[in-house]
Amino acid sequence: MKIYVIGIGLIGGSMALELKELFRDCYVVGVDQSETHLEEALALGIIDEKGSLETLGEADRVILSIPVKESLRLLPTLLDQLNDEALLWDVGSTKEQLCKGVENHSKRDQYLAAHPIAGTEFSGPKAAHLGLFKGKPQILCEAKKTRADLLIWSKTTFRQMGMYLRFMEPKEHDRHMACVSHLSHVSSFMLGKTVLEQEADEQNIFDLAGSGFESTVRLAKSSPDMWAPIFEQNKENVLEILSAYIKNLEDFKNKLAADAIDDLHQQMKHTNQLKTILNGIKHNN
Amino acid sequence: MKIYVIGIGLIGGSMALELKELFRDCYVVGVDQSETHLEEALALGIIDEKGSLETLGEADRVILSIPVKESLRLLPTLLDQLNDEALLWDVGSTKEQLCKGVENHSKRDQYLAAHPIAGTEFSGPKAAHLGLFKGKPQILCEAKKTRADLLIWSKTTFRQMGMYLRFMEPKEHDRHMACVSHLSHVSSFMLGKTVLEQEADEQNIFDLAGSGFESTVRLAKSSPDMWAPIFEQNKENVLEILSAYIKNLEDFKNKLAADAIDDLHQQMKHTNQLKTILNGIKHNN
């Protein structure tokens, strides 16, 4: 089985490692704009060969894991090149525009829109590792538009990687992600920016980071190349949730200014229920 | 050596454990409003005895680790009760009002305002553990106002716990903490509130939390009993930094609405420098 991985980063690289683990006959061809990433991926045994998109027709499986703006641009022409038995997954963080862009493509049924909810603030092939997806959700969008045999293979394979499956429409997916993921990234980037502006002394940032800053700012280490296009593609949803967030912050500010400490206490107490939600929910696969 | 720990939570409890480890003759008396906490602390060997403030005169060392509003109220009368050789540390997150409240106290020199930058989102004696302070900064405020012998003993003891020392004036401390710690908590609580309001389906929050939410919302699990009084006491500084944060979020929103994606990319790239700051700085003890 010949697998092309387009974009050998954390997600693409980890997917390659999982597929090599699952399928003995798996031969991975890596395609990436960065020669450094390709060399690293070769050295780490993540890919078997550096390749190019020109020979994509020989691929049995294709994983598209590049910034979402590029995916949107490339996806139709990549599908054009697929042979009739091939399957392409993308693993990007936005889905509405991407699915819309290929809705009338003759090979739409050889494409599966997937979003593994796994990742760290690290990127590049060195960050890739086996086990990244274990116990994590894999979100599939418009799964019914994928050809039955290719969908079954995909579902089985994701489950073998230890993932559990969730099904969403692209619109719904993007709205949920704006809320639960994209807002967190905006919040973290702007928190980092604010502290850098207000704290001239870097030693203070370092010494005091353990008092909360370190965890809220973790996502501000993320790659702008990956995130700028996500915000762009999910603009309407991000603007909406960001407005709601700013409104809550303004409300907190006004209550604090008015010494309405009991109100703030109540809000915090209410928000504490996240503890239960994040610890306790069981899911059915 | 008889040590009174007033407030047997994460910090007070961990301090007690460290002192027991360092001093063989250490006998710890616990004082807490919560009978459950006292029983837990006894069972866990954090304290040797449940006590009350009435016998505080017999203490050699006192650790005050209760919500800052209570500290502010209690500190003068606690100092009144100290015998002439005793020393009292508080370990709270705000210092300006506290130090001001005892500036003319006859036993001011038996008090040391300390703030260990260590902690987790967990609280209570069960969260206490040896090693919590290892490698962490201990901030001392107005250290010169503490009697020389008591200050030397404190500095040595903190270093033996593995901490490194930083010295700040109370005003400066509170301003820095607003920026690097308190803002993170407001940000996290309001992020959690926003997501709870917008995401009716708790299963979605759980499934998608790994995509960023989990780390930005960690602090929203913190205790409102501890945090409401911190915000109250550090009101002016928190309001100022919160306004700067909201301004940055508004700016991000406006740029996104105007499709100024390159500007956003640049902001994120600039903020990425936090990676270096948080990884790389060396400190002198």
Could you report the per-residue pLDDT of A147-190, keeping only the tens digit for each? 999 999 999 999 999 999 999 999 999 999 999 999 999 999 99
The helix or strand, by DSSP H or E, that contains position B241, with its residue range, turns out to be helix B235-257
Given a cut of 80, is residue A284 above it in pLDDT? no
Nearest 5°: the CA angle B253, B255, B259 is: 115
What lies within 8 Å, CB to CB, of A24 at 6+ separation is: none
Cβ pair A248:B185 closer than 8 A: no
Structure tokens of B218? 């960690």
Q: How distant, in Å, are the alpha carbons of A181, B147, B148, B171 from that of B151? A: 47, 6, 5, 20
Chain A interface disruption, residue of B11, B216, B238, B282, most A CBs within 10 A: B216
Cβ pair B244:A198 closer than 8 A: yes
Cβ pair A249:B248 closer than 8 A: no
Gap from A15 CA to chain B (nearest CA, Å): 17
Chain B residues close to A238, C-beta within 8 Å: 256
Domain map of chain B by residue range?
2-168, 173-280
Instruction: Look up tokens 């990127």; give the residue.
Output: A123
Gap from B173 CA to chain A (nearest CA, Å): 10
Structure tokens of B278? 């948080």
Residue of B191, B170, B207, B14 lying closest to B93 (CA atoms): B170
Given a cut of 60, is residue A72 above it in pLDDT? yes
Report chain A's mean pLDDT, rounded to a whole number. Answer: 95
Instruction: Look up tokens 């100022």; give the residue.
Output: B240
What lies within 8 Å, CB to CB, of B4 at 6+ separation is: B28, B29, B30, B31, B51, B56, B59, B61, B62, B63
Chain A residue with CA closest to B92: the answer is A211
Cβ pair B166:A207 closer than 8 A: yes
Chain B residues close to A227, C-beta within 8 Å: 268
- Tell me what pLDDT residue B241 has: 98
Which one-letter DSSP state was computed for residue B67?
-
CA dist., res. B80 & res. B68, Å (int): 19
Greater model confidence, A254 or B211: A254
- Tell me what pLDDT residue B123 has: 82
Chain B interface disruption, residue of A167, A175, A208, most B CBs within 10 A: A208
How far, rounded to the nearest angstrom, does the alpha carbon of residue B119 sit from its chain's CA centroid? 7
* Number of other residues whose CB lies within 10 A of the CB of residue B201: 10
Given a cut of 90, is residue A210 above it in pLDDT? no
- Give the nearest partner residue to A209 out of B180, B256, B262, using CB atoms: B180
Gap from B20 CA to chain A (nearest CA, Å): 25
Beta-strand runs (E) in B17-60: 27-31, 49-50
Compute the Cα dihedral for A175, A176, A177, A182 and give only its sign: positive
User: Do B16 and B128 touch, CB atoms closer than 8 A?
Assistant: yes
- Give the nearest partner residue to A212 out of B185, B228, B275, using CB atoms: B185
pTM, 2 dp:
0.92
* A238-248 pLDDT, tens digit each: 999 999 999 99
* A21-39 pLDDT, tens digit each: 999 999 999 999 999 999 9
- Tell me what pLDDT residue A54 has: 97
**For domain B173-280, which CATH number applies: 3.30.465.10, 3.40.50.150, 1.10.3660.10, 3.50.50.60?**
1.10.3660.10
Chain A residue with CA closest to B168: the answer is A204
- Tell me what pLDDT residue B284 has: 45
Chain A residues close to B274, C-beta within 8 Å: 192, 196, 205, 217, 220-221
Superfamily assignment of B2-168 in CATH? NAD(P)-binding Rossmann-like Domain (3.40.50.720)
* DSSP string covering A10-28: HHHHHHHHHHHHH-TT-EE
- Give the nearest partner residue to B181 out of A213, A229, A283, using CB atoms: A213
Q: At what angle do helices A183-198 and B261-271 cross, to 10 degrees?
A: 60
Residue of A59, A25, A205 lying closest to B273 (CA atoms): A205
Those residues of chain B that have pLDDT short of 50 are 284-285
- Give the nearest partner residue to B210 out of A117, A211, A252, using CB atoms: A117
Instruction: Look up tokens 């090979």; give the residue.
Output: A107
Gap from A189 CA to chain B (nearest CA, Å): 6
- Tell me what pLDDT residue B282 has: 53
Gap from A169 CA to chain B (nearest CA, Å): 14
Chains A and B: how many Cβ contacts under 8 Å?
A: 301
Cβ pair B272:A177 closer than 8 A: no
